[in-house]
């Protein structure tokens, strides 16, 4: 998602036409794609945790959305300290530190499952998200500067495609190792076995998150040994206007609102997919079956990002953003005012049009900030807190007006994104 550029990573000259094809840049981008994959995988696994822990702890929709609140709330709390950390240690060490923190967060799922305590799960998610925040603070803007500014959105879209590969595989992983095991345990259970079943359900997360902790530690060792390129310092590059702070750039502030609304809408939709498709009037799937179908949502985003990485070299970024936002609005309205498999496939198709939104808003918002790019990136990273707040809003709506009608809330978010693509992204 968003991040902060360090003193070692900054905007390259637009006239350096061969910079995007430098072997050093290609190697760095290849290495960084592994990080995008991992935090996409971890983030989407929350969509499996929401229905799983909702069942384990008998939560309502609002309470289950605390999972996303704690995860994305870490972006708001940890972004500025992470930016200071990365600025002091450098982007490479920042990546290593972020990976280690993420590994600790994954490991904390083991005692949380052992004690079967929902607050411990939330605490583990917060620690995990703090590590992911440090990773994004170091990696996202670094990708935007490894080449000409005019192709920054295309580069970030390409790396985000591997993020979407992680989000596509995560529901399958979660369905196999978490939801399918719990479904088998519940089938045919007697009332006397209920407590044992709940213990087994809570424990189902231990093995998957232990594997993820090991994976993060291996990546930390790998990045500690890598030699990544340095680029020209951003402090030396003048912004497009003479403002004294990133906050003076209207297109950045409006872009931060766009990031807030986009992340909030995407997380809200993704968090409700399993429960939505489990409704008798939609598909009537079991949670495990619904989790497999969530992969279509994120797989669409992956396909869209690979297409966008090429197409957006020739299509205006703002117009592409507005078109996709309007398409999502149409799909959401179809979801709300239809039922059965029409509603199911229309909400899953949203992933295809979500594909380019985050990297496009991110790169448009940072355009022309020069030496204020670091501050601007930090502002955008803070805006990811939308993923903590808006799911709670949709959870409250689901508890009051029903999960089906609650999908009207993201329509407002995408209407703003369409405006940003058409007009709001233009520097004043």
Helix axes 373-382, 357-366, angle to 10 degrees: 140
Kindly list the distances between the CA atom of residue 343 and the CA atoms of 349, 350, 356, 398, in Å, as whole numbers in the listed order.
10, 11, 23, 16
The Cα–Cα gap between 308 and 317 comes to: 10
Identify the sign of the CA torsion 176, 131, 155, 22: negative
How is the chain split into domains, by residue range?
Answer: 19-424
By C-alpha distance, which of 279, 292, 318, 285 is closest to 403? 279
pLDDT over 80 at 391, yes or no: yes
266-314 pLDDT, tens per residue?
999 999 999 999 999 999 998 888 988 999 998 898 898 888 878 888 8
55-71 pLDDT, tens per residue?
888 899 999 999 999 99
| Average predicted confidence (pLDDT) for the chain | 83
What is the pLDDT at residue 8? 32
12-21, 59-68, 381-390, range with the lowest pLDDT: 12-21
Rounded to the nearest 10°, the torsion over CA 357, 263, 144, 212 is: -120
The Cα–Cα gap between 95 and 89 comes to: 10
The Cα–Cα gap between 189 and 161 comes to: 42
List Cβ<8 Å contacts ≥24 apart for 236-241: 236/10, 236/371, 237/10, 237/11, 237/370, 237/371, 237/373, 238/370, 238/371, 239/368, 239/369, 239/370, 239/371, 239/372, 240/367, 240/368, 240/369, 240/370, 240/427, 241/368, 241/427, 241/428
pLDDT band at 237; cut points 50, 70, 90: low
Backbone conformation region of residue 117, classed left if phi is above 0, alpha if psi is from -120 to 50, else beta: beta
Under CATH, what is the fold of the domain 19-424?
Answer: Growth Hormone; Chain: A; (1.20.1250)
- Helix (H) or strand (E) holding 124, with range, is helix 118-145
Beta strands per DSSP E along 19-115: none
pLDDT over 50 at 341, yes or no: yes
Residue 315 tokens read as 């299509």
Task: Return the SS3 of 226.
Answer: coil
**Residues 200, 182: contact at Cβ < 8 Å?**
yes
């Amino acid at each position: 998602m968003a991040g902060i550029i360090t003193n070692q990573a900054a905007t390259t000259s637009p006239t350096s036409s061969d910079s995007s094809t430098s072997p050093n840049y290609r190697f760095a981008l290849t290495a960084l794609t592994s990080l995008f994959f991992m935090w996409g995988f971890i983030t989407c696994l929350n969509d499996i945790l929401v229905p799983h822990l909702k069942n384990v702890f008998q939560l309502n929709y609002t309470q289950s959305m605390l999972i996303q609140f704690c995860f994305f709330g870490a972006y708001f709390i940890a972004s500025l300290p992470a930016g200071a950390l990365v600025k002091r240690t450098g982007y490479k060490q920042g990546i290593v530190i972020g990976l280690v923190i993420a590994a600790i967060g994954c490991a904390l799922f083991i005692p949380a499952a052992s004690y079967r305590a929902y607050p411990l799960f939330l605490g583990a998610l917060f620690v995990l998200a703090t590590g992911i925040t440090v990773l994004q603070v170091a990696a996202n803007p670094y990708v935007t500067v490894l080449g000409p500014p005019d192709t920054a959105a295309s580069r970030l879209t390409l790396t985000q495609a591997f993020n979407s590969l992680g989000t596509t595989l995560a529901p399958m992983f979660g369905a196999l190792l978490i939801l399918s095991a719990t479904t088998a345990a519940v089938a045919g259970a007697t009332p006397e076995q209920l407590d044992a079943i709940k213990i087994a359900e809570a424990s189902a997360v231990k093995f998957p998150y232990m594997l993820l902790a090991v994976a993060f530690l291996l990546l930390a060792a790998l990045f500690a040994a890598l030699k990544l390129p340095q680029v020209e310092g951003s402090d030396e590059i003048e912004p497009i206007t003479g403002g004294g702070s990133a906050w003076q750039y209207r297109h950045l502030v409006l872009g931060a609102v766009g990031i807030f609304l986009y992340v909030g809408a995407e997380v809200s939709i993704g968090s409700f997919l399993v429960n939505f498709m489990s409704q008798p009037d939609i598909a009537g799937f079991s949670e495990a079956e619904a989790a497999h179908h969530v992969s279509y949502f994120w797989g669409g985003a992956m396909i869209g990002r690979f297409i966008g990485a090429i197409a957006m070299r020739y299509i205006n970024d703002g117009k592409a953003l507005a078109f996709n936002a309007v398409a999502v609005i149409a799909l959401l309205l179809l979801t709300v005012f239809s039922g059965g498999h029409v509603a199911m496939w229309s909400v899953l198709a949203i992933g295809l049009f979500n594909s380019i939104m985050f990297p496009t808003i991110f790169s448009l918002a940072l355009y022309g900030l020069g030496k204020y790019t670091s501050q601007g990136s930090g502002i955008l990273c803070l805006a990811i807190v939308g993923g903590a707040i808006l799911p709670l809003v949709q959870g409250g709506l689901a508890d009051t007006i029903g999960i089906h009608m609650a999908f009207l809330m993201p329509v407002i978010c995408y209407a703003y994104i369409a405006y940003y693509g058409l007009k709001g992204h233009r520097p004043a």
